[in-house]
């Protein structure tokens, strides 16, 4: 084994709460980046993959553990790394050339040398002739090329990329991916290792020499394996689809399960009893998913489902998790199977659907149950947001708490369990209205 360039030892991230409860974002984990590899870090949203990238680059500090750069501890941003950002992070008031020159300027490189190196780098990413354009005049793909050039011009030892292709359209992304690989394979990059964060499974398998999959709540490594497919890789290749399917299996395994392995053991972590987390799926999405699943004879591969809907995992996984939480589907080995309750739901009319949803929610979703009984225990049937906010922020970050409440409101309204007044910031149970006429025509809502 060669010596790692960057190594994280028992690195974790958490936020201390006033009570002894702490919000764990990343559980203690070990991860090393070795020379000569493209490492792709894959994970659903909320698994802390961007946070991990920022800890490895020294942009943000780990709550505990150590980051080593060539064996010595890191304080502040690492000396010789670059980041390619999801949103490009180009300075809109600087021209393309000035953007690329900026990091050299920061290093005190003389004007002439600065210009020569920058122009050369822009040429190699195919941007000759665009030196004096402003970023806003460029298409998304062009902007990310500038981002590449700016990152590479300082000849970083490790190139970090934070979801570099996810803001681009499918074709542009494909094009840029293959150009990145070309630069890498032909050794046109002065870089010794590349670290790519992504939530796109195919992208991870297309690019990575090594794939690390993170689980969420808290973020931890669920699997870490090498991909020995030759490049260029073919999406239709049997081994390719096998790896993709395997990653889906890992991702759809319940979070509490010990880490799965394909080759060699991965560092797992002990997970303690957690406050159940609502997956952020819209009720319309859940209903639509169940109806489509019913049309597919009630059983389907998650991977094929995603492909069929052209969803990325961040879109599909919350829906699958929500349906599973409500007892409408079962997930086994990367397959989703509809349950009798789910089938009944899929075939019901909208009012009946709401009823089924209500029953399932009250049975399975702790937060909704809690809100409902809280409201019922009050004589005026209303409670302020803060009440539930305080319960949740013992367990989640501020941002996640807000999202949890938003999702709970969406589900609660759909199930007609309660309503919410966003202006006064209160939950309430609406007064009973005289029953609606029964013969209202209703369509299915998706």
Work out the end-to-end distance of the chain between its first and last CA atoms, rounded to an integer number of angstroms.
52
Exactly one of 145, 150, 280, 358 binds another protein (CB under 8 A); that residue is 150
Which stretch, 73-81, 117-125, 330-338, 356-364, contacts another protein (CB under 8 A)?
73-81
Task: Name the residue nearer to another protein (CB basis): 93 or 308.
Answer: 93
Contact between 73 and another protein per CB under 8 A: no
- State both tokens at 440: 């209202």
Which stretch, 11-19, 135-143, 336-344, 391-399, contacts another protein (CB under 8 A)?
135-143
Alpha helices in 58-139 (DSSP H): 96-106, 111-124
At its nearest, how many Å lie between another protein and the CB of residue 155?
Answer: 13
Size of site (CB under 8 A) for another protein: 34
Closest-CA residue to 42 (of 232, 234, 243, 183): 243
Phi, psi (rounded to 5 degrees) for 148: -60, -50
At its nearest, how many Å lie between another protein and the CB of residue 82?
Answer: 7
At its nearest, how many Å lie between another protein and the CB of residue 147?
Answer: 9
Closest-CA residue to 265 (of 30, 10, 4): 30
Alpha helices in 58-194 (DSSP H): 96-106, 111-124, 140-152, 170-185
Phi, psi (rounded to 5 degrees) for 244: -60, -45
Task: Name the residue nearer to another protein (CB basis): 14 or 134.
Answer: 134
Output the CA–CA distances (angstroms, integers) from residue 131 to 59, 82, 121, 226, in the order listed.
29, 21, 11, 39
At its nearest, how many Å lie between another protein and the CB of residue 157?
Answer: 13
Q: Report the C-alpha gap between 38 and 445 in whole angstroms.
A: 44
Which stretch, 84-92, 225-233, 259-267, 381-389, contacts another protein (CB under 8 A)?
84-92
Neighbours of 271 (CB within 10 A): 16
Contact between 135 and another protein per CB under 8 A: yes
At its nearest, how many Å lie between another protein and the CB of residue 420?
Answer: 14
At its nearest, how many Å lie between another protein and the CB of residue 298?
Answer: 37
Closest-CA residue to 29 (of 15, 5, 2, 47): 47
Exactly one of 1, 71, 73, 136 binds another protein (CB under 8 A); that residue is 136
At its nearest, how many Å lie between another protein and the CB of residue 383?
Answer: 20
Contact between 13 and another protein per CB under 8 A: no
- State both tokens at 439: 């013969």
Task: Name the residue nearer to another protein (CB basis): 92 or 434.
Answer: 92
Q: Report the C-alpha gap between 113 and 383 in whole angstroms.
A: 65
Task: Name the residue nearer to another protein (CB basis): 189 or 346.
Answer: 189
> Strands 193-198, 38-42: parallel, antiparallel or unpaired by DSSP?
parallel
With 0-12 / 13-18 / 19 or more C-beta atoms within 10 angstroms meaning exposed / middle / buried, residue 140 is middle
Task: Name the residue nearer to another protein (CB basis): 62 or 323.
Answer: 62
**Which helix H or strand E contains 214, and what residues bound it?**
strand 210-215
Phi, psi (rounded to 5 degrees) for 443: -100, 175
Exactly one of 14, 34, 134, 428 binds another protein (CB under 8 A); that residue is 134
At its nearest, how many Å lie between another protein and the CB of residue 375?
Answer: 23
Question: Pattern of binders to another protein over 409-438, x per CB under 8 A?
Answer: -------------xx---------------
Output the CA–CA distances (angstroms, integers) from residue 136 to 91, 94, 207, 244, in the order listed.
10, 10, 29, 36
Question: Pattern of binders to another protein over 87-126, x per CB under 8 A?
Answer: xxxxxxxx-------xx-xxxx--x---------------
By CB under 8 A, the residues from 26 to 55 that bind another protein are 54
At its nearest, how many Å lie between another protein and the CB of residue 402?
Answer: 15
Task: Name the residue nearer to another protein (CB basis): 12 or 101.
Answer: 101
Whether 182 and 144 have beta carbons less than 8 Å apart is answered as no
At its nearest, how many Å lie between another protein and the CB of residue 164?
Answer: 12
Phi, psi (rounded to 5 degrees) for 260: -85, 155
Closest-CA residue to 319 (of 170, 300, 256): 300
At its nearest, how many Å lie between another protein and the CB of residue 230?
Answer: 33
Residue numbers at the binding site for another protein (CB under 8 A): 54, 57, 59, 76-77, 81-83, 85-94, 102-103, 105-108, 111, 134-137, 143, 150, 154, 422-423
């Amino acid at each position: 084994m060669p010596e790692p360039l960057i190594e994280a030892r028992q690195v974790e991230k958490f936020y201390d709460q006033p009570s002894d409860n702490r919000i764990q974002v990343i559980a203690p984990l070990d991860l090393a980046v070795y020379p000569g590899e493209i490492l792709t870090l894959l994970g659903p949203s909320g698994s802390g993959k961007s946070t991990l990238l920022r800890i490895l680059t020294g942009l943000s500090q780990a709550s505990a553990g150590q980051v080593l750069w060539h064996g010595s501890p890191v304080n502040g941003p690492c000396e010789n790394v670059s980041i390619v950002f999801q949103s490009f992070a180009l300075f809109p008031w600087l021209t393309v050339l000035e953007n690329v020159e900026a990091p050299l300027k920061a290093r005190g490189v003389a004007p002439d040398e600065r210009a020569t190196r920058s122009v050369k780098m822009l040429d190699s990413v195919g941007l000759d002739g665009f030196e004096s354009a402003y970023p806003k005049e460029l298409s998304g793909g062009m902007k990310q090329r500038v981002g590449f050039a700016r990152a590479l011009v300082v000849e970083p030892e490790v190139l970090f990329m934070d979801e570099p292709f996810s803001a681009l359209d499918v074709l542009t992304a494909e094009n840029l991916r293959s150009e990145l690989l070309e630069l890498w394979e032909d050794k046109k990059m002065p870089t010794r290792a590349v670290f790519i964060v992504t939530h796109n499974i195919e992208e991870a398998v297309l690019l990575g020499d090594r794939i690390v999959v993170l689980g969420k709540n808290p973020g931890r490594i669920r699997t870490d394996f090498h991909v020995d497919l030759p490049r260029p890789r073919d999406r239709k290749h049997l081994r390719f689809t096998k790896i993709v399917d395997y990653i889906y299996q890992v991702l759809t395994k319940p979070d509490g399960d010990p880490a799965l392995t394909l080759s060699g053991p991965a560092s797992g972590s002990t997970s303690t009893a957690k406050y159940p987390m609502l997956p952020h799926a819209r009720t319309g999405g859940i209903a639509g998913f169940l109806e489509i699943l019913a049309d597919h004879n009630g059983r389907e591969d998650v991977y094929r489902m995603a492909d069929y809907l052209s969803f990325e995992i961040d879109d599909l996984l919350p829906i699958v998790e929500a349906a599973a939480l409500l007892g409408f589907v079962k997930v086994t080995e990367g397959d989703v199977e509809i349950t009798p309750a789910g089938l009944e739901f899929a075939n019901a009319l909208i009012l009946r659907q709401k009823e089924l949803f209500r029953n399932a929610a009250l049975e399975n979703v702790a937060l909704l149950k809690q809100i409902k009984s809280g409201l019922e225990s009050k004589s005026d049937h209303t409670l302020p947001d803060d009440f539930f906010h305080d319960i949740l922020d013992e367990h989640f970050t501020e941002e996640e708490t807000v999202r949890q409440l938003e999702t709970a409101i969406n589900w609660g309204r759909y199930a007609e369990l309660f309503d919410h007044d966003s202006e006064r910031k209160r939950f309430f149970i609406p007064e009973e209205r005289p029953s609606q006429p029964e013969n209202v025509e209703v369509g299915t809502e998706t």
